[in-house]
Amino acid sequence: MNEDHSTASAVKVSHLVKRYGDMLALDYFDLDVRQGEIFGLLGPNGSGKTTAINCILALLTFDAGTVRVFGEPIGPTSYALKRRIGIVPQNIAVFNELTVEENIDYFCSLYVADKVRRHTLVNEALDFVGLRDYRGFRPSKLSGGLLRRLNIACGIAHRPDLIFFDEPTVAVDPQSRNAILEGIKQLSREGATVIYTSHYMEEVEQICDRILIMDHGRHLALGTADELKAMIDTGERISVETANLGGAADGSNTAAMLKRLRDLPFVLEAVYDGRELTVRCRNGEHNLIDVLNILESSGTNIGHLTSRQPTLNDVFLELTGTALRD
């Protein structure tokens, strides 16, 4: 991830309101993306992400608020601004009748009229996504991972300053996923600003400089991954495999043991399903030793044990009530 970014805004959204009839899709939504950063925009399905992006791109009108891109208001006819923007949609958006090279050239031609310049850009895009050897293939002959790379090449061939990536790694193999993520980081190193949406929390944590979580059309939380984790109550989560919680094989001591654990000042929750004990602790505390001491003193047989710190998925669950893939 980048360490140093300009404080200038690439995208600034202020008090944005969008209604669809009686439904409020964006509720005075705010967003400020700095130039040069990889910015994660996260939210459950129906949270307003797509509506917000379409308003930023001037594909939708809105009821109130302002949208500025690189300091300028954007509208349907802001063609100079739109030439600086690239979009990589979640759904594959290429023409099956055209070859890989022809697809990239077509999408690049929407922004760059000069054929000589476009030829150079298309070759650079082919090299960037590793498709030079497939330039004559039609999309139907490509694997899912290579199709995703083609989708990216079509969105970035004109060298945009601002790029929207909407779940670009859905249903691709790990090798292609890594190539895509490394490519996005390279684009950022070369000066592009990236707005990235995904349901894969490990990807977001790996590449995003800052992350905004939204729901019901509202801005809920903003920060780095570590800053977001520090905002929630949930901290360490301890899981212990055991068939005799409390020391009695017949389960007679289970309720008493759970009460002892729940009475610890740092414990938010302790549950047992007959095979595994899960203890959820408050943030900022490391409580494994205290929990183990109680279990061992009761004669509980301890099997496999894990302890992990909060994840972005925990943040999501606490802020929105919805768990995403982790």
Q: Are residues 124 and 254 in the same domain?
A: no
Residue 110 has which token pair? Answer: 């929407």
Q: Are residues 197 and 53 in the same domain?
A: yes
Section 151-156 average pLDDT: 96
- Is the residue at 326 inside a domain? no
The pLDDT, as a whole number, for residue 292 is 93
The pLDDT, as a whole number, for residue 170 is 87
The pLDDT, as a whole number, for residue 326 is 40
DSSP alpha helices (H): ranges in 172-275? 174-189, 201-207, 225-230, 254-262
The last residue of a domain, from among 202, 230, 258: 230
Tell me the C-alpha to C-alpha distance, in Å, between residue 322 and each of 166, 196, 204, 279, 316. Answer: 19, 19, 17, 20, 6
Q: Give the relative orientation of helices 100-109 and 144-156 as an angle to the nearest 10 degrees.
A: 30
Q: How many domains does the chain have?
A: 2
Number of H helices, E strands in the chain: 11, 14
The last residue of a domain, from among 211, 230, 249: 230
Q: Are residues 267 and 195 in the same domain?
A: no
Q: Are residues 125 and 23 in the same domain?
A: yes
- Is the residue at 242 inside a domain? yes
Average pLDDT, the chain: 92
Residue 200 has which token pair? Answer: 């894969």
**Which residue matches tokens 């600034």?**
12
**CB 148 within 8 Å of CB 172:** yes
The pLDDT, as a whole number, for residue 3 is 45
The pLDDT, as a whole number, for residue 62 is 97
Torsion sign, CA atoms 201, 206, 207, 213 = positive
What span, in angstroms and rounded, lies between the C-alpha atoms of 198 and 223? Answer: 16
Secondary structure (3-state) at 293: helix
The last residue of a domain, from among 175, 195, 230: 230
What span, in angstroms and rounded, lies between the C-alpha atoms of 275 and 303? Answer: 10
Among 154, 209, 143, CA closest to 177: 143
Question: For 95-107, how does the pLDDT look when each residue is reduced to its tens digit (9 = 90+)?
Answer: 999 999 999 999 9
Q: How confident is the model at residue 317 (pLDDT cuts 50, 70, 90)?
A: confident
Section 114-119 average pLDDT: 97
Q: Are residues 186 and 45 in the same domain?
A: yes
Torsion sign, CA atoms 78, 79, 83, 88 = positive
The pLDDT, as a whole number, for residue 260 is 94
CB contact set of 276 (below 8 Å; sequence gap of 6+):
239, 240, 241, 242
The pLDDT, as a whole number, for residue 324 is 56
- Is the residue at 290 inside a domain? yes
Q: Are residues 279 and 192 in the same domain?
A: no
**Which residue matches tokens 């690049």?**
108
Q: What are phi and psi for residue 87, nearest 5 degrees?
A: -130, 125
Mean pLDDT is lowest, of 125-129, 154-158, 172-176, for 172-176
Range of the domain at 243: 234-309
Q: Are residues 167 and 190 in the same domain?
A: yes
- What is the CATH number for 266? 3.30.70.1340
**Which residue matches tokens 């099997």?**
303
- Is the residue at 314 inside a domain? no
Section 46-51 average pLDDT: 93
- Is the residue at 80 inside a domain? yes
Q: Are residues 116 and 148 in the same domain?
A: yes
Q: Are residues 173 and 282 in the same domain?
A: no
- pTM for the model stands at 0.86
At residue 2, does pLDDT exceed 50?
no
- Is the residue at 320 inside a domain? no
Q: Are residues 215 and 263 in the same domain?
A: no
At residue 254, does pLDDT exceed 50?
yes
- What is the CATH number for 46? 3.40.50.300
Q: Are residues 183 and 244 in the same domain?
A: no
The pLDDT, as a whole number, for residue 7 is 75
At residue 323, does pLDDT exceed 80?
no
What span, in angstroms and rounded, lies between the C-alpha atoms of 4 and 37? Answer: 9
- Is the residue at 133 inside a domain? yes
- Is the residue at 250 inside a domain? yes
The pLDDT, as a whole number, for residue 6 is 54
Secondary structure (3-state) at 241: strand
Among 56, 55, 157, CA closest to 110: 157
Q: Are residues 135 and 251 in the same domain?
A: no
Question: For 172-210, how does the pLDDT look when each residue is reduced to its tens digit (9 = 90+)?
Answer: 888 888 999 999 999 999 999 999 999 888 999 999 999
